[in-house]
Chain A
Amino acid sequence: MKRDGKKIIFEKAGDLPPMAMSLGTTEYNETGSWRNERPVVDSSKCTGCGICWKFCPDISIKEDANGKASIDYFFCKGCGICAVECPVKAIEMKEEEK
């Protein structure tokens, strides 16, 4: 199974839902559409401490090439825990636009 943007590509019969033999298959569920507010990282402030990663319930914080936090909007439900817990206040919640 592969993910291409929002599309899921099934590669073999075992990947198809009725079989459900693969582990970790919820990785293909888009939960980002639940969001009302989106977190935006100010990379000039981010120190790359990893606290947001640790407390994110949806594991949608990733490390970018410079070791700073970046957000996977495919999964982020916009709870705002990262913005509250960030020690340097580098994450800001902005209203989601259509």
Chain B
Amino acid sequence: MTTIKDLANKGNLFTQGHRACAGCGGTVILRLLMAAAGKDTVVVGATGCMEVVSTIYPYTAWNVPFLHNAFENSAATASGVESAYRALLKRKKTDKKINFIAFGGDGGTYDIGIQSLSGAMERGHNLLYVCYDNGAYMNTGIQRSSATPMGSSTTTSPAGSVVKGKMQNRKDLTEIMVAHNLKYAAQASLSNWSDFVSKVEKALAVDGPTFINVLSPCPLGWGYDTSLSIELSRLAVETHFWPVYEYEDGKYKINIKPKQVKPLEDFLFKQARFKHLKNEPELVEEIKKSVEEKWNCLLQKESSCK
């Protein structure tokens, strides 16, 4: 198992001085991701918060080759880079083992990039796609995306007297990826960092496309104090809002089953985007119901796919 010391000894492949907001969860994800992947890695980033804050011209926060491309095609670009690498291998121009990582936010993955992501996964390129899911288009000013949870207030689904925030349930991208018959797909949370790091290591060891979805708390978009980023990702796991599980070779495994399940309100009412729900007990019940349904469904899948 990887320890903190092992990670610290690998150096900073994603360095200081990036312009992310104070308390940003996404940068912690990238740090841990790079610490797990090591320096022989090519990173492709879709447009989004993490690309904008890490590569403001003429500076870069990356100590590895980094390629930025448009919102919709990070998976397509990464698969091109990977194909070029395989061509070099074939012609014996290199024999180095190189990891390929593409990442995008929930806007660039759930909505705009899903077509190229689906294509890359279907073609079977040897790459890892990491989605940092902060539940809206935070970079452009908190517009709703298909990852935005039900009841959440964003600038394009504002909570008012008639409509109480976003009225639709979020899309389950990890399940969509599982439907691509991947060898490895997982959902992780920052609060359980060693689980996330071991998932990245596992995914990179697989020969073929892999996918990891990580919850990325956003102080600005979610509306909470900057110091609570990790605390909120912990609450999301403990309330079953964000199940931490993996799908490996046709089998589901829930990695973290909270011993004591906390009420969903603990998670919701720490954030300003849900504060209007305090007067909407029916909507909270509906959200609770869908969260529990998802969890029970996952439990069933875990026991039936053994």
> Is B one of A's binding partners?
yes
- State the A residues within 8 Å of B (CB): 17-20, 23-31, 34-35, 49-51, 53-60, 63, 72, 74-75, 77-81, 83-85, 93
Q: Give chain B residues whose Cβ lies under 8 Å from the Cβ of A85.
A: 230-231
Q: List 11 A-B contacts (CB under 8 A).
A: A17-B59, A19-B58, A26-B15, A28-B17, A29-B18, A53-B4, A54-B32, A77-B22, A79-B23, A79-B229, A85-B231
Supplied contacts A26-B15, A27-B15, 5 more A-B pairs, CB within 8 Å: A26-B18, A28-B17, A56-B28, A63-B8, A80-B23
B62 touches A24 (CB 8 A): yes
Smallest beta-carbon distance A58→chain B, Å: 6
When each residue 57-93 of chain B gets 1 if its CB lies under 8 Å from chain A and 0 otherwise, what string results? 1111111100000000000000000000000000000
Smallest beta-carbon distance A14→chain B, Å: 11
Q: How far is the CA of A4 from the CA of B51 in the complex (A)?
A: 28
Q: Give chain A residues whose Cβ lies under 8 Å from the Cβ of B23.
A: 57, 77, 79-81
Nearest residue, chain B, Cβ from A85: B230
B19 touches A31 (CB 8 A): yes
Q: Give chain A residues whose Cβ lies under 8 Å from the Cβ of B25.
A: 57
Taking the complex as formed, is B226 at the interface, i.e. its CB lies under 8 A from any CB of chain A?
Answer: yes
Q: Which residues of B193-232 have CB atoms within 8 Å of chain A's CB atoms?
A: 193, 219, 225-231
Knowing A57-B24, A59-B31, A79-B22, the reply to whether A25 touches B16 (Cβ < 8 A) is: no
